Chains A and B, each alone.
Chain A
């Protein structure tokens, strides 16, 4: 499986739309695109996971390092439209308490 990464970076907000699976094979690509965005002070990085049907713990690792980077660089990370299976992973790991996740709109099939 592949991961499509679509970044639209306008002014102070970057929207990263993902589609596919985030696993050990695709996580490095995601990291490469996501981390530089968080290095810009004041930037809001919104990641849309509506079309991500599978994520494993390597994917969580990418979001954790992005979160740490936002704290160092005074930017912001926000995850939106998570599918249930992906949301569960954030819940189990307790990351829902420390990452800004908008779970009001669920993504997915």
Chain B
């Protein structure tokens, strides 16, 4: 209470000055007084108490009714004081949480880091940008001893921290699948069982898994409800949607995933993405899938990594640099 008492005379002088002169500077100082009180955790009812004391000193003959009314006001302010205390402690907790989340986000980064491999005859570009602190998109490259290249691209439905945790679970389950069982349909079937058993019912994961075998130049793939990618056929200079049916991971227990395959010719491109790419909005307007392809086409002369970066920059500009959803785009091009 000592600081407050010290300020009491100050408050009284200010009040006196204001009553006499109606001076703006006194008002400004009153504002400073309230800010200082907040810094010192002084509650609103304490300020009213100071006001009552100052008033009594200034007007010893204060009518009884006014005095009682001030005490009444003081009682009425007590709840505000409590609410303010609560606000203070929440603010501290929020700061603590914020720093924990940023630690978790950087841990996730470290855990889920994937290295874009060098594969002879393939030009690979990959970009993944989170909309918030933690990325709900996931992509991973696996290079087997027999030179086959596995590519997983996934989106965890349910955002934020729970999604990020589910992602780590997926990554470790995938790491534990033996190398001779790495065909796309088998991978999705195993992951489906993991997700179905372990994840909250409103959460599920979409995933596309592709496997490129350089020995026969074939691309094998399966999809668990993932946003369809595109295939660029260089000979015909045409894009087509990669059709692959399959239900999202984690909804039904014994789901089987069909595996598809296609021969990849020189100059062909395989485009894998998440819905953060196709669900871009410009103001209130959704972009059409053709627009994504037009943009890809306009940068197609660039190396794959430059290509995905330019496409990202295009949509970042289109959305005023504010992503609504995590954005992941991977392009494989078979070199001539």
- Between A and B, 7 residue pairs with Cβ closer than 8 Å are A56-B279, A57-B157, A57-B275, A65-B201, A65-B202, A92-B228, A95-B225
- A-B CB proximity, top 8 nearest: A94-B247, A93-B225, A65-B202, A65-B201, A57-B157, A61-B202, A94-B225, A68-B201
Please report which residues of chain B, range 230-260, place their CB below 8 angstroms from some CB of chain A when the two chains form the complex. Answer: 245-248, 251-252
With A60-B204, A67-B251 already in contact, 8 other A-B pairs whose C-beta atoms are closer than 8 Å: A58-B157, A61-B202, A64-B248, A64-B251, A68-B251, A93-B225, A94-B224, A98-B251
Whether A62 contacts B225 in the complex (CB less than 8 A), given A57-B157, A94-B246, comes out as no
B203 CB within 8 Å of chain A: yes
CB–CB A64/B225 < 8 A:
no
Partner of A64, one of B155, B201, B245, B275: B201
Interface residue count on the B side (C-beta < 8 Å): 25
Chain A CB count within 10 A is highest, among B202, B204, B251, B286, for B202
CB–CB B286/A64 < 8 A:
no
Residues of B within 8 A of A62 (CB): 202
What number of residue pairs across chains A and B have CB atoms under 8 A from each other? Answer: 56
Residues of A within 8 A of B248 (CB): 60, 64, 93-95
Partner of B157, one of A31, A61, A92, A97: A61
Partner of B247, one of A56, A58, A85, A95: A95
CB–CB B286/A85 < 8 A:
yes
Chain B CB count within 10 A is highest, among A24, A92, A93, for A93
Which applies to chain B's interface (DSSP): helix, strand, loop or mixed?
A: loop
Q: Provide the A24-35 mask, 1 if CB < 8 A to any CB of B, else 0.
A: 100000010000
Q: How far is the CB of A95 from chain B (nearest CB, A)?
A: 7
In the complex, what distance in Å separates the CA atom of A61 from the CA atom of B279? 17
Q: Provide the B255-299 mask, 1 if CB < 8 A to any CB of A, else 0.
A: 000000000000000000001000100000010000000000000
B158 CB within 8 Å of chain A: yes
Interface residue count on the A side (C-beta < 8 Å): 20
CB closest residue in chain B, given A85: B286
Q: How far is the CB of A44 from chain B (nearest CB, A)?
A: 20
Partner of A61, one of B203, B224, B227, B275: B203
Residues of chain B whose beta carbon lies under 8 Å from any beta carbon of chain A? 155, 157-159, 200-204, 206, 224-228, 245-248, 251-252, 275, 279, 286, 325
A75 CB within 8 Å of chain B: no
Q: How far is the CB of B248 from chain A (nearest CB, A)?
A: 5
Residues of chain A whose beta carbon lies under 8 Å from any beta carbon of chain B? 24, 31, 56-58, 60-62, 64-65, 67-69, 85, 92-95, 97-98
